[in-house]
Amino acid sequence: MTTDLSLLIVDDDEPLRMRLARAMEKRGYAVQAADSVAAGIQMARSRPPAYAVVDLKLGDGNGLDVVSAIRAVRQDARVVMLTGYGNIATAVAAVKAGAVDYLPKPADADDVDRALRAANAAHPAPPDEPMSAERVRWEHIQRVFELCDRNVSETARRLKMHRRTLQRILAKRAPR
């Protein structure tokens, strides 16, 4: 584990970003904060961080671009993706881009710190309550939707369902 505790936080939600920055500074991190993809990439290139917490959806683009930029300048960086739009498809995309973990919002500073400092071989404990069949179905639909670039007609065709039915499913909240 590195003794460099530089941390880049990229989130467009200012209260969350500032609260997390203060909490992580109390835990010994040297924090830089950015509110956009452009600012995050610029900071990552000028001072490559050892750790990063990046929001998935930012006002000017996708946080996955920041993850890729961080990994390009510092291969050993540990990046955690933080998002309010959690589903399996985006989690897979985050890991493929180089994130070591994926946390749904709201995540507290303890969760973020644990994810950043976790050993590479550490596996999460199995869930006490696994996903319901309805949730698995919803996750599958979300994954196909993401793979089809969020095109409802193409997703409906591939899932062999009516487009309006798919729109109703997509409009609802995720089942528990």
Task: For residue 155, give its domain range.
Answer: 133-171
Express each pLDDT in 83-119 by its tens digit. 876 677 777 888 888 888 888 777 788 888 988 888 6
CATH number assigned to the domain comprising residue 146: 1.10.10.60
Structure tokens at 148: 């089809």
The better pLDDT of the pair 126, 83 is held by 83
153 within domain boundaries = yes
- Compute how many other C-beta atoms are within 10 angstroms of the C-beta atom of residue 7: 25
Residue 1, pLDDT above cutoff 80? no
CB 101 within 8 A of CB 80: yes
104 within domain boundaries = yes
85 and 18 belong to one structural domain: yes
The better pLDDT of the pair 105, 172 is held by 172
Express each pLDDT in 61-76 by its tens digit. 888 999 999 999 999 9
Q: Is 82 helix (H, G, I), strand (E, B) or coil?
A: strand
In the chain, % of residues over pLDDT 70:
90
126 within domain boundaries = no
Structure tokens at 125: 């404990």
Q: Please say whether the dihedral angle defined by the alpha carbons of residues 112, 115, 118 and 120, taken in this order, is positive or negative.
A: negative
Q: How many domains does the chain have?
A: 2
The whole-number pLDDT of residue 4 equals 86
